[in-house]
Chain A
Amino acid sequence: MDDKEMKKMVLDYVKREYLEEGDDREITESTPLISGGIVDSFSMVSLKRFLEKKFSIAIPDADASPEAFDTVNSIVALVNRFIK
């Protein structure tokens, strides 16, 4: 899977899971998710779990910072660090 596909997968998941049905906010790969209030620090845990499962990786808690999870771009960069 290349970066483009990965970003699309993460973006689709974020839209599906973290936006209410009927919430028509535009989210792109560079939209701030944590600092923008779309995903809070508690919900980050389920997003992390999704990434670990989908990409068969383990992201150490120390690397799962709000900054690393702030955009789809930064999330994919983080995931790439752990894909063998």
Chain B
Amino acid sequence: MSNIGSYEQRLKDFDWSISEKELGYKKGDNINIGWYCTDRICQMGNGDKLALIHQDHLGNVRNFTYNDIRQLSNTFAAFFVKLGLKPGERICIFMDRVPELYISFMGILKTGAIAQPLFSAFGDESLFTRLDNAKTSAILTQKKHLPKVRKILATLPELRHIIVIDAGDASLKEREISFDMEKEPRVDKFDVYPSTAETPSVLHYTSGTTGQPKGAQHVHYSLIGQYLTAKWVLDLQPDDIYWCNADPGWVTGTSYGIIGPWANGITQAVLDAGFNAEHWYAFIQKHKITVWYSAPTAIRLLMKEGIDLVRKFDLSSLRHLCSVGEPLNAEAVLWSKEAFGLMFHDTFWQTETGAIMITNFPGMPIKPGSMGKPFPGITATVVDPRNFEPVNNPGTVGLIAFRPGWPSMMRSYWNNPEVYKNKFKNGWYLSGDRASIDADGYFWFVGRDDDVINTGGHLVGPFEIESALLEHPAVAESAAIGKPDPVNMEVVKAFVALKPGYQPSDDLELEIMNFIRKKLSPLAMPQEIEFVKSLPKTRSGKIMRRLLRAQEWGEPIGDISTLEND
């Protein structure tokens, strides 16, 4: 029996107080995610239960019980307090998926500071942009990422502490301090910050069409949504061994790679290694994973390796599969049925929504390729982009919109209230994605409503790439778009016009690709560069990305009446 039981019945009697009651929370109480995910589980008598099974790329395994993560997060928290870090200050986590990432996240929240996780593959410029915008006070990192931090340190005066978790005998410089979690005396008692529902908790950066990335700011009350969606959608049950593929540099990796499973007192397994189909299956077999939350890009990579490889492993422990990041194509759903005897359940949500919004629930008939139906308590629709009124005809495409007010919704964009305000029209939060709803109430994803590129389930903003391209000495002007890709849905393609004196060449293309990879991230690196004489622009000089994208996708180019020299 699944946790959700009957979806239809849940719709009838749903109230978020279901989650509040299960967590023992009443309006006006203190609520601290760090405490709920560690101390509370221990108080329930589960201190000896495994919270984290961690395996690195060499196969070394480290286990942590709930009592371990309670004490170790206290130890982190006490250290932050000793450094003088105050509630509300931003503490960045810039690490690979090592145990310290997961545990320090809880430690930060216990102090009342705001956790700002960032993807460790970010280049120095991506890192700088986000630390500068958040005016971050401290960063936790590993020795291997220290060079990137050092490169930008001089221009970040607010960044007072660089905390290195594995410094060993490396010589540290000014503002740098070593903190070895395993060697510190454990702190058994820590006065957890008395945060309330609206106290800021997590700051996750996400990309938009224009401007630099924006920090979606969440609050401790988000726990109410993350706890219940993890329970009902991922169907986490007491004996499960759960594996979430997502890196906590992105929202899935915190909402469902840390908070959701630990608030439910579940054992989760983490594999800190790059993609390798054989290693992944061996990991599932070794740790007897029961619930697996993956992503379409990963599933499609597994498909490429074939079903024969699947058959070499005993994956019979698996009982429930979910997917997130980009639309899950019907072929992948059907393949998973053949490969694992189970269908992947697609889930739809965003950095801004903080928790799953539309999904295929356990027990609900899956229409392969569909996003599923809204979570109980979520009012979702598609609206007409002209008047922002709900579209009532089944099959008609509109903008996916939600009625604001769910617990895990972002509360603002950091230092960017105007952009936040623009996300709401006619009483709806606009997701920026397009879909239709069929006669049975299932949502069907169509695409983005803007120029943001969804590559491998991660959003990349064209403006950020174009700005970085202009910093290359050969580039006069540029445009970045998403081009279709069978594995990643989209990959970045850049159109580049060169400055006088530079000639297109394979060498220059590779040089520019690597330039962006190191500056921003591998995700932002153009996988193709097309050298052009000039870019199509409007009469006012704005580059018409829409035109380039339509040409790339073989779509109608639409109205080009404003095109310069048309």
**Interface residues, chain A, CB within 8 Å of chain B?**
17, 20-23, 25, 32, 34-37, 39-43, 45-46, 49-50, 53, 62, 65-67, 70
Contacts and interface: CB of A to CB of B under 8 A. Distances in A.
Contacts of A46: 510, 513-514, 517, 525
30 contacts: A21-B147, A22-B146, A22-B147, A25-B144, A32-B57, A34-B274, A35-B276, A36-B274, A37-B57, A37-B273, A37-B274, A41-B274, A42-B455, A42-B456, A42-B523, A42-B527, A43-B517, A43-B522, A46-B513, A49-B506, A49-B509, A49-B510, A53-B507, A65-B304, A66-B275, A66-B277, A66-B301, A67-B276, A67-B277, A67-B278
A34 B276 contact: yes
Nearest to A25: B144
Contacts, number: 81
Q: What's the dominant secondary structure at chain A's contact region? A: loop
Contact of A37 (B146, B148, B272, B513): B272
Given A20-B147, A23-B144, A40 B522 contact: yes
A59 to B, nearest CB: 14
B279 interface: yes
Contacts of A23: 144, 147
A17 B274 contact: no
B96 A37 contact: yes
A46 B279 CA distance: 24
A36 B147 contact: no
Closest 4 CB pairs of A and B: A22-B147, A42-B522, A35-B276, A20-B147
B121 A66 contact: no
Given A20-B144, A40-B274, A70-B276, 10 more contacts: A22-B146, A35-B273, A37-B274, A45-B513, A45-B525, A46-B513, A46-B517, A53-B506, A53-B507, A66-B277
A32 to B, nearest CB: 6
B160 interface: no
Contacts of B49: none
Contacts of A40: 121, 274, 522
A33 to B, nearest CB: 8
A35 B121 contact: no
B403 interface: no
A35 B57 contact: yes
B144 to A, nearest CB: 5
Nearest to B488: A42
Most chain B CB within 10 A, of A41, A62, A65, is at A41
B525 A42 contact: yes
Interface in B479-528: 488, 491, 506-507, 509-510, 513-514, 517, 522-523, 525, 527
Given A34-B276, A45-B525, A20 B510 contact: no
B145 interface: yes
B150 interface: yes
Contacts of B456: 41-42
Nearest to A39: B274
B276 A20 contact: no
A16 B150 CA distance: 18
Contacts of B279: 35
Contacts of B527: 42, 45
A66 B301 CA distance: 9
Contacts of A21: 147
